[in-house]
Structure 1
């Protein structure tokens, strides 16, 4: 996802891929179920069901681009959560038709989200493959929106190079970190804007969702990408589509506390409040820039990541307790009624 400018309001976005750790890769079957053939021709079977995603963040006049995969004719689209996180407006285009979109739900820790295109019908649906059948060396093509929604889709050809990868992504502004596990690696020069797009096998089936691409992500020589296996992504997406919330799956848009935070540089609990949204819940509770937010809903905050996970458990209208230390060093408490983002 490409974001201009860099600065974002909430500590929820994955903006820089900083570490890639290879875990023990499972031994896969010796042969794939995908039929051999021209990779680009196979990708052409999926391209009509590729969604171009454009986002806007109004308070900062920021825009972003990403990619999605159409799951049903009525307009449900699979993408990465980081493609749409923090967006006030989402517009999705499929085969030249543009629709406003809303967030059905998301799993932040697995970077999966499902959108609903308002007013859509009769859309082409992506053929879904079996990521468990992938093998090392198998050719794949990543389709994406890296050049922007008014330009041709990108088609990055490569090969599968590994399984069971873990990516650590960090928000360089806030210090919020998330680990994405169980990814497969492929040698193809995917770039920002390809996030959320399909990785296609030789049979013209979606076998993965490109992820971990961000504004600061720079590929090495030859390029490489990381994808959520489609079996994993569809399991999460189908739970979201059924409306089944859980500890990790949030149904509907995120809630708004109204603070921009950074992990505290000094030892001790708490996150540093860098910004407070005027008129937002946090300002109404008395929080100010420079305060140290130490507890949210009874959970001690040791990092910006802790704050996002606590908020993901809540829905608009929930009233939660806050504890913070103000600029004079005094501990204060208050309550906030959370609002939709």
Structure 2
């Protein structure tokens, strides 16, 4: 076979192969590319949207966390102004709740005494019901010298009352009415009270005409020592208004706990506004219990009276003894007028209130050591504490 025949045969084969191959139209190829591109865009958008959505959800969930201790929901931080508004609203609501809860257990007390024209009003005050069977706490000065005492309940019912026990030194008294199932107050723990805490006073300000008056302020100071009628009172100071008639009523915290018994008389000689005083409830609890159980308060007693003195060189400082009560612990121990007590129970004393505070931490019959300066010498004597008689 010659070369021309070979070429012709090859050409025929090529033509046959080409006939078997199918060529794709260029327009169709372009449309496929467009569809693929569109699919990629949609896929990318979907993925991006999913990631963004997950981020937002996670962020929101992160603002609400369940603590492992109590599984309580912790809310996200509020704007300061919103938090302040919420705090003030809560405070106002709490005062309202305290007034509604404690108010029914606050009573008005009228002191009546015999006069030329029969029974006359001698004064009025407030009180708090501490037992549903009719036991009421008030101030000593509210019922002092009364020939007849009446109690007006929050329901406006008026009942006669009798004095179970009264203690002039603490300015506290317990009276009783013949009634059952009365609303009562709840005593708090005044040791937990802090300066700046909200304080709420409830009572019959200026008498029955303004019964159940509620005033609010803050705790201005704690552990104030105020002297009244020769006694030293440990009191809570508040700027909540305490007016005549509030005496014997409760000073409460925001939870409705009684943290003090209001007493106008204690701060009356200060003649200042925004300075009210309440007898610390932790100081009052044992006294109230004693008055309920035995009608009196038994206290240890040293048996001296005197005043604070300091020598010119400051070496001698203490209480100069002016009088020693006969048969008292001090009298039996040989303490004399003109002695100067410098220490009691190993603690330095500057005035009579220091001595009283030390003595009251002991019981009747216990012994305390007193360091005395006498005739230029320092001596030590042992004193057995006697019982304070009467309402001194």
Task: Please classify the TM superposition score into its range, dividing by the shorter chain length.
Answer: 0.5 to 0.7
| Residue in structure 1 matching 2:221, options 162, 175, 178 | 162
SS at match of 1:101: strand
Alignment of structure 1 residues 31-42 onto 2, 5 Å: 38-42=94-98
Q: How far apart are 1:98 and its partner, in Å?
A: 1.2
Q: Which has the larger radius of gyration?
A: 2
Answer yes or no: is 1:100 the counterpart of 2:165.
no
Shift of 1:204: 1.4
1:236 aligns with 2:236: no
Structure with greater helix share of residues: 2
Residues 258-315 of structure 1 deviation map (CA, whole Å, 9 limit, x = unaligned): xxxxxxxxxxxxxxxxxxxxxxxxxxxxxxxxxxxxxx9999xxxxxxxxx86548xx
1:109: Cα distance to partner?
Answer: 0.7
Q: Confirm or deny that 1:58 pairs with 2:110.
A: no
**What are the residue-to-residue correspondences of 1:280-319 with 2, within 5 Å?**
311-312=390-391
- Of the three residues 190, 201, 217, the one matched with 1:131 is 190
- Offset of 1:217 from its aligned partner? 5.7
For residues 297 and 57 of structure 1, what CA distance do their matches in structure 2 show?
35
Which residue of structure 1 lines up, in the alignment, with residue 232 of structure 2? 180
CA deviations on 1:24-52 (whole Å, 9 max, x unpaired) are xxxxxxxxxxx965324323210000011
- Determine if the alignment matches structure 1 residue 85 to structure 2 residue 144: yes
What is the alpha-carbon distance in structure 2 between the residues aligned to residue 58 and residue 217 of structure 1?
A: 28
Which residue matches 1:212? Answer: 264
**Closer/same/farther in 2, CA of residues 246 and 124 from structure 1, 3 Å limit:** closer
CA distance in 2, matches of 1:178, 1:145: 28
- Alpha-carbon deviations, 1:34-89, whole Å to 9, x = none? x9653243232100000110111213744211000101111000011111111111
Question: For the residues of structure 2 that align with 1:159 and 1:232, how far apart are their CA atoms?
Answer: 20
Q: Distance in 1 between matches of 2:181 and 2:243?
A: 30
Report the equivalent of 1:3. none
Greater relative CO (CA pairs within 8 A, separation 6+)? 1
Q: Aligned residue for 2:254?
A: 202
Distance 1:297 1:245, change over 3 A: farther
TM-score normalised over the length of structure 1: 0.57
* Cα contact 2:290–2:297 (8 A) shared by 1: no
Q: Distance in 2 between matches of 1:120 and 1:190?
A: 28
Displacement, 1:224? 1.6
Is contact 1:191-1:214 (8 Å) kept? no
What SS class does the counterpart of residue 131 from structure 2 fall into?
coil
Aligned match for 1:115, one of 151, 164, 175: 175
- How far, CA to CA, are the matches of 2:290 and 2:236 in structure 1? 22
Q: Displacement of 1:229 after TM fit?
A: 1.5
CA spacing shift, 1:246–1:195, aligned 2, 3 Å: closer
TM-score, with length taken from structure 2? 0.50
CA contact (8 A) 2:267 2:277 kept: no
CA distance in 2, matches of 1:38, 1:155: 13
Two-structure CA RMSD over aligned residues (Å): 3.1
- Pairwise CA distance, 1:214: 7.7
Structure 2 residue aligned with 1:140:
199
